[in-house]
Chain A
Amino acid sequence: MTRKNLGRATLAALPFVLAFLVDLILFLVLKDRLPTRLAGHFDVSGDVNGYVDRTTYVLVTAPVLPVLGALWVLMVVGGRFYGRAHRLLIGGGWAVAAFLQYVLGAALIVNLDTPDGAAAGRFPLWHLAMALGAAVLAGGIGLLLARLVPAPEDPRAGKSPADRERIALADGEVAGWARTTGSWWLPLSALVIVATGTGLGYGVNWFLGVPLLVIAVPAITFSRAHVTVDRRGLTVSGLLPWPRFQLPLERIEAADSRRVDAVAEFGGWGYRIRPGRTGFIVRSGEAIVARQRGGREFAVTVEDSGTGAALLNTLVDRNRAGR
């Protein structure tokens, strides 16, 4: 790791380490005043609707901050975030860490001095507002601190669109490229969401179940996605004609085929929005990465991405020439 990267990694890890330490100290100081059974789940009005025992609570919540911290370090060091996107990523990490620190800390405080077996305190909704406030404040601090380390420069900034591959098309010839992308875990995760949503709906309440079932709809339609490159631009559509993601030719500057890393560049799989980029990511590996005017990137992981990107560049040229 270079020295600059070490500085960036430290800045990314710092909020998560701090948040973890604050929560740890809070827990150790307050340990004797906590009941053995904690109120760990609250309904929309702030009343307790679930209890966990103290050890389970610690085991479940303790890894959250370190795991997210590690993810952020990975994204900052290996995620190809450049310039402004790099600073936004660091600021975002500070905001997430502060939000979680506040919520985890507040959950301990509302349980203080509750005798075992007695009804625990409530988790008033203003705690959530405070958590959001803490996130905004910490995010701002993160953005300022991010200016201390130079943001990495985009190595592709100077690359001219003319260097990229094209597909020779005759005048008037119409070309389209289509490919199915998918993975074994996509239908599986849609099923898991439906099952969890239905289970929560019947078992707990439908306020929790229905949102999950709503999320399941795009998960089901995109369990097999079609990626097309044609006169309309770059489109990712699911089993149904709608919803779909479409990037028209006019908004594309150029396209590349390159390897993307799902975790480092997008922080995971699925439809991902990150500073400076959006992606439909089902795996790490080759992808069509379309660079929009203004520098934002849209990535789709798909096989034979070289042909798709070459056709996209050809069609973008043709569109610009007004044919």
Chain B
Amino acid sequence: MEDFVIEFMFFLEVLFSGLLTGTLYSLVALGFVLIFKASGVFNFAQGAMMLFAALSLVGFQEMLGVHWTVAFLLTVVVMILLAWCVEKFVLGKLVNQEPIILFMATIGITFFLDGFGQTLWGSDIKPLDIGLPTGSLDFGGIFVDQLELVAGATAGGLVLGLAIFFNKTKIGRALRAVADDHQAAMSVGISLRNIWIIVWSVAGLVGLVAGIMWGSKLGVQFSLSLLALKALPVLMLGGFTSIPGAIIGGLIIGAGEKLAEIYLGPFVGGAIENWFAYMLAMVFLLFRPQGLFGEKIIERV
């Protein structure tokens, strides 16, 4: 009986830490969703943007010796500038191109940002400390990482904020209009350019927040950009166009991969997390090809 209780507690711990890790994935996935939703661009550069934002934050802190809030604001300015540049020099020139071409263009942006970020701030690993709590809390034998709790709360807050932004503000409504139909939105006087700049800025901001969370966890280093790969199954499962989908998808993927690794992994040699997340998402897709919350794909001949 006692064994059972211990096992059950362990199960709960795995589940809970999986869910929390999942919200960390969601943070990365959110940036993808925002841009895909408003411009139909599959933004490969989201990982690089996250890295770039985190690097800038640490860089400003180091270089200017300012409090992290100042560095944060400076980084926000940088990300807005980046969004403007992306619109001005890349997307603006590629209006009406096929999605795969836009996707490729974001790869160009990725290469550029990877090189540019390292040129400015170096490739060394940099500790990021903005006073987020570290270490774990002990809830009757269940250890919970404090940083992940903060990340979970932040992710929740971000989604709530974005939901309000999209549904209640004028800009948000304009964004949704653009997402529905570029042509129609333009014809009622919405400036596509401004909308894109706003969306990329918001995605940059989300990237910054994700970068802070992951950077506090891992230190700011080039590997952060690889986290985009962890966000893809989340994106796929939740649907490319749904903000709540990114959160729910993150929870499912996070919990799923941890449970699989611990209860399935030992039988097949372990380290199955990576492909399991993708397999899980693929199985979901077989039943709902547009993801859990994605818009239904309607095809007409």
* A and B: bona fide binding partners: no
List A residues at the B interface (Cβ < 8 Å). Answer: none
